[in-house]
């Protein structure tokens, strides 16, 4: 069986968890703003150029999409976030996958 992969279409989905030091919840918008702030520092280009996109975020867990070649750099970007809306946080990556379905099944629904 021959599989043809279109150039530039391979993506990785990274599951992450936001752990605030105090009992605080963040919105999807706040997470996006912080990723957009850090992206030029890590990638030297904005999120759109780097093809980084927050797919889903609720309560404390989320999924970020990136190019397969930028997986490690995207994880570095997530881990570099230490404040959201002036509240200290740590971000822990839960896992990486080529599809959202397998990411959720293997790493997020534990």
The CATH number for 45's domain is 3.30.70.3250
Instruction: List b or e across 40-51, with b for residues whose CB sees 16 or more CB atoms inside 10 angstroms.
Output: eebbeeebeebe
Give domain status of residue 24, yes or no.
Answer: yes
Give domain status of residue 109, yes or no.
Answer: no
Please tell me the predicted confidence (pLDDT) of residue 108.
85
Supply the pTM of this predicted model.
Answer: 0.88
Give domain status of residue 85, yes or no.
Answer: yes
Give domain status of residue 4, yes or no.
Answer: no
State the total domains in the chain.
1
pLDDT digits (tens, 9 = 90+) for 49-97: 999 999 999 888 999 999 999 999 999 999 999 999 899 999 999 999 9
Give domain status of residue 39, yes or no.
Answer: yes
Give domain status of residue 1, yes or no.
Answer: no
């Amino acid at each position: 069986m021959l599989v043809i992969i279109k150039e530039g279409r391979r993506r990785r989905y990274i599951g992450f968890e936001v752990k605030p030091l105090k009992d605080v919840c963040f919105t999807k918008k706040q997470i996006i703003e912080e990723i957009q702030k850090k992206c030029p520092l890590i990638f030297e280009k904005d999120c759109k150029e780097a093809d980084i996109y927050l797919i889903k975020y609720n309560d404390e867990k989320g999924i970020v999409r990136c190019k397969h070649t930028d997986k490690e750099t995207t994880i570095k970007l997530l881990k570099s976030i230490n404040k959201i809306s002036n509240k200290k946080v740590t971000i822990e990556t839960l896992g990486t996958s080529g599809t959202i379905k397998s990411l959720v099944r293997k790493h997020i629904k534990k």
